[in-house]
Each structure stands twice: as C-alpha cells, then as structure tokens.
Chain A
Amino acid sequence: MSSFEPKIVAFLCNWCTYAGADLAGTSRYQYPPNVRVIRVMCSSRINPAFIINALLEGADGVLVSGCHPGECHYTSGNYMARRRLVLMHRMLEYLGIHPDRFRMSWVSASEGAKWAEVVTEVTEAVKVLGPNVIKREQVWMQQSL
C-alpha cells in the first residue's frame, strides 16, 4: 500500500449524516481521518459546481451524504439532490473524472456504523486512484504563452 493519504471533502446534511457522523464519534467507531466535513443544511444545498470546485481546489475525492429517501427534514430536498447528483456523477465520468472521486451516500442520524463504513470505502477507493490531477495551479508565478 502506498503512503498516499487522500483529502476527501465531505458535504454532510445537518439533520442526518452530520448527526450520524457525530454518533460514529461518540460510539467510538474507527474510520480513516481523511474526510474534511462541511456541514450544509440539506444535501440539495449542493450546487454541482461545488463538487468540481472542491476537486479543483485540491480535494482528491468528494462525498455528499444526506438523509435516506423519504426521510428528508425538508420533505423532498434529498430527492432533488439525487436527481442532480446522479446525473452529475455520470457527467463527471464522461469528462474523464473517475467515478470513485465523487460519491454520494445516504446515512441517517442513527447509522454511525454505516458512516464509518462509507468513509472507509470511499477513502480506500480514492487511495487506489492516487492524487487528483485536475487541480488549479497553485504555483503562482509562471510564464504562459
């Protein structure tokens, strides 16, 4: 196994997955420390441009997680998110970005164990892929034609 430790940006819905991740912590489930959590009120808050932006800003993988279908705090937010993000997932693959770099999951507030599993699975998959190469230039001084 390589020593590469990926950075994974995780957008978590406030009502389900964020609480689920909290539960994973209080229940002392072990999972890889590679995720950087950003809390949003609902998975439908995720503009598809956030995902590409996260990759461009240096994330090696992106995870969006929210309530199970039918359990949205706002009734239908996650249904809306699902339509958008399932399509986005397909488009990214078409553009040549590996489908494992962007994943989506449903994790409820009571599923601390599932959260640990999801993070483990996503991290392992990104580790295999290696660093993301589509990044914004962070070398600021350069000559270009």
Chain B
Amino acid sequence: METLVLHKDKLKDFLKALGDVRLVAPVTVAGKTQFCEVADIDAVELDLNNYTATTKKVMFPQTETMFAFRSTPDGVKVEEGGPAPKTVVFGIRPCDARSFVTLDPLFTKDFNDPYYMKRRAATVLIGHACAEPTNRCFCPSVSGSPAGTEGLDVLLTDIDDGFHVQVVTDRGKEAISGAKSLLTKATEAHNKQKQAADKASAAKIKRSVNLKKMHEILPKAFGLPEWKETGSKCIGCGICTYNCPTCHCFDIQDEGTPYQGRRLRTWDACMFSEFTMHASGENPRHDRSERLRNRMLHKFSYYPRNLGFISCVGCGRCIELCPVNEDLIQILNTVREVCNE
C-alpha cells in the first residue's frame, strides 16, 4: 500500500490529527516507561529504547470486569460492559503487534471471546520499527522482524528527516486520514533510506534460536533430567508470563458482596503453584521445573500444533527480566542438543 513521509516536527500534530480516540502510547510515569492511555500528547516518548512494559493489556487488560450484578426488589440485575472505546495504539513495536496475530486464533477458535474481540475490533495499531534491537531480542528466530508489519495497520520507521510511514491496511489508512495534510508522498530516496534502516537494525540482532521441528522435539524431551536441572533455579514468580506479550492464561473471580459485585478476569501465571492446584489439595505440577517445562511446551509445541503459531514473538522480555537468568534460548538449545536433532 501507500508509503508516506512525516516530518519530525509534525509528530505532535500527527497525533492530534488522529481525532477523538483513546490514544495509547509509551510514556514515562514515576521514572519508568509504561504503555498507557495518554492524557497529554507532549508526554509521548518515541526515542525510548525497547521498553519492557507490557503491551498486551491494550487488548487483554490485567483486570477486566465481565459483568456486574446487583440484587434489586425485582430480582438480580446483570449489567455488561459497554463497547470498547475507539483506540489508537501508537509506537508499538512490531514484535508486540505480532503477538495479537498469534493471540487471535486462541480467542476465536472454539469460542469468540467478546472481551478480547471488541477491543481488537476497535483498535488501530500504529507501529514503530525497532531501530535499536537489544541483546534480549531474537524476533527473526520466530519469523518476525524488527520492521515487520504483521498485525500492524501503519508502520513508522525512523529516517533522516522524520518518519517513513507505511500504510499496511485500509483501517490504518482511515485512521490517519485526518492527518493527510501533514504527510507527503515518499520518494524513491525515502524508500531507500527505510530499506537501509531495516537492514541496519536486523543486523543488530545477535541472539538466535533454531526452532526447526521444535514442536516435535519438545514432546520427546518431556522426560529429560535436564528440566529438573534448569528448572530448579526458577523461583516461581510471574515475571516471565506477566510481561510476555503472548501469554494469555487468566483466572475468573467474583468480587463484592452477595448483594452487589462483579465477575472479573485477571491474568494468571502457569509458574505459580496455585495455577494447577486442585480443590482436593493435589497439585499435578508440584515442582517448579515441571511448571517451567509446561511453559516451554505450551509456547513451542502445544500452541503451534493446535493453533498454527509459535506462541512467542521473540521480544525477549522473559530473558531480560528473569531474576535468575532462566533463558529461553539456552533452554531450547539445550533441549535440541540433548535430543541430538
């Protein structure tokens, strides 16, 4: 589709021209980068390095009310959430945008999840290509790219005078239609600059993992003693799952009193011992290494076999944030090595 150019100085005007929408972008709150609703356009930060703040909450909030209930003299009244507000996500990285593509089949396959889908339908994703991939990134290993457009509606890439704007979908085109006057057609030179930028950033990715046939190798590796060895250093916190853009498990709870309250869903993490705890007190995955193994198999074997996607976009948050250097790349490489494949 179209390729345009946005001058550096016009970025704020561009954001204003997006119209009356909920704008979600990286901003700094209390000294740390958060991905959240923007009240003040001046606060949007694009020159940040890769943020670790999670982006999946845009479609899949950590705490989400499913319905509220209230008992009245006429019986119990149930109130459901309204439509999702029209949202533009600005400055999301291609890996994070791609995570929604891998999540879509999960939330639509057997059952259309109305909560996720209503947000997905109301949200336009304007991405920002990665100019400085970090030492945790390995998106090419999972068929991604620092300038990938999968899942995005519009992709911005840093070039000399500002941004190269690649319109990917019709929705993207419509979303930025209000900013037409700020954009100029990209010339051949601009397109060349973008290609050079993409090439340069791809060259900066140094880590990789060979995932060929991984979905078949992992089940064979199920009984290996190596799981115990690497899993014994896991401390069983939820950092890897809660910061992962593709982890999607949730818990459903009721809150309130018997007279009024709400049913909500919140994120849950397979690394917590309560995750698989039965009412009887039995826990089928009682060891931390078993839970770690399950997370790996879920991402690289069960999910691709059931839904056709590797449940990993190579953002490397789990690697960077893990308190004990539990490294997904190292684990998968060890598995391949031990299985001689």
* A interface residues, Cβ below 8 angstroms from B: 140-145
Where chain A touches its partner, the secondary structure class is: loop
Q: Indicate the size class of the contact surface on chain B.
A: 20 to 34
Point out the residue from B24, B57, B63, B68 that lies within 8 Å of A141, measured CB to CB: B68
Q: Which residues of B contact A145 (CB under 8 A)?
A: 24, 36-37, 57-58, 61
Q: Are B256's CB and A140's CB within 8 A?
A: yes
* B interface residues, Cβ below 8 angstroms from A: 24, 36-37, 57-58, 61, 63-65, 67-70, 79, 81-82, 84-85, 255-256, 260-262
Q: Are A143's CB and B256's CB within 8 A?
A: no
Within the complex, what minimum Cβ distance (angstroms) separates B1 from chain A? 29
Q: Which residues of B contact A140 (CB under 8 A)?
A: 65, 68-70, 79, 255-256, 260-262
Docked CA distance A140–B65 (Å): 8
Docked CA distance A143–B24 (Å): 14
Q: Which residues of A contact B260 (CB under 8 A)?
A: 140
The 3 A-B residue pairs with the shortest CB-CB distance, nearest first, are A140-B68, A140-B262, A141-B68
Show 11 A/B contacts (Cβ-Cβ < 8 Å), sorted by A. A140-B70, A140-B256, A141-B68, A141-B79, A141-B81, A143-B81, A143-B82, A143-B84, A144-B63, A144-B64, A145-B24
Which residue of B has the minimal Cβ distance to A139?
A: B68
Q: Are B85's CB and A143's CB within 8 A?
A: yes
Docked CA distance A140–B315 (Å): 35
Which residue of B has the minimal Cβ distance to A141?
A: B68
Within the complex, what minimum Cβ distance (angstroms) separates B84 from chain A? 8
Q: Are A142's CB and B65's CB within 8 A?
A: yes
Docked CA distance A31–B23 (Å): 53
Docked CA distance A143–B260 (Å): 18
Within the complex, what minimum Cβ distance (angstroms) separates A137 from chain B? 9
Docked CA distance A6–B81 (Å): 33
Q: Which residues of A contact B84 (CB under 8 A)?
A: 143
Within the complex, what minimum Cβ distance (angstroms) separates A55 from chain B? 17
